[in-house]
Amino acid sequence: NAGVTQTPKFQVLKTGQSMTLQCAQDMNHEYMSWYRQDPGMGLRLIHYSVGAGITDQGEVPNGYNVSRSTTEDFPLRLLSAAPSQTSVYFCASSYAGARQGRNGYTFGSGTRLTVV
């Protein structure tokens, strides 16, 4: 069981470039989310999905797009990278409802993105 797999682990972009952060899970989780983590800011929700074909915005969605064509994959697209998007990005997945002993999100190992 791989859990939640994020690629790449590290990326440097130039301002204005676009890219896609990949996220895949093999646990048949309904929910998937993208968070960004900045020093002193905790984890802020960018976009989330409650199932294939369904996505919605979180707290800080501007500059990012998502799609969920399958249960397993939830890519995050940066449309035109800006230095303010320098951050650590975490993808996470979970079951939709409460499951005894298996609640909570499983996080990927993160993508460290620098925009210069």
The reply to whether 89 sits near another protein by the rule CB under 8 A is no
| DSSP string of 84-105, one letter each residue | GG-EEEEEEEE-SS--TT--SP
Total residues interacting with another protein, rule: CB under 8 A:
29
Closest contact distance (angstroms) between CB of 43 and another protein is 4
The reply to whether 49 sits near another protein by the rule CB under 8 A is no
| Residue 51 near residue 110, CB atoms below 8 Å | no
Q: Which is nearer to another protein, 14 or 98 (CB)?
A: 98
**83: helix, coil or strand?**
helix
The reply to whether 104 sits near another protein by the rule CB under 8 A is yes
The reply to whether 61 sits near another protein by the rule CB under 8 A is no
| Residue 88 near residue 113, CB atoms below 8 Å | yes
The partner residues of 106 in beta bridges, in order of sequence, read 93
Using CB under 8 A, list all residues that contact another protein. Answer: 31, 33, 35, 40-45, 48, 50, 56, 58-59, 90, 92, 94-98, 103-110
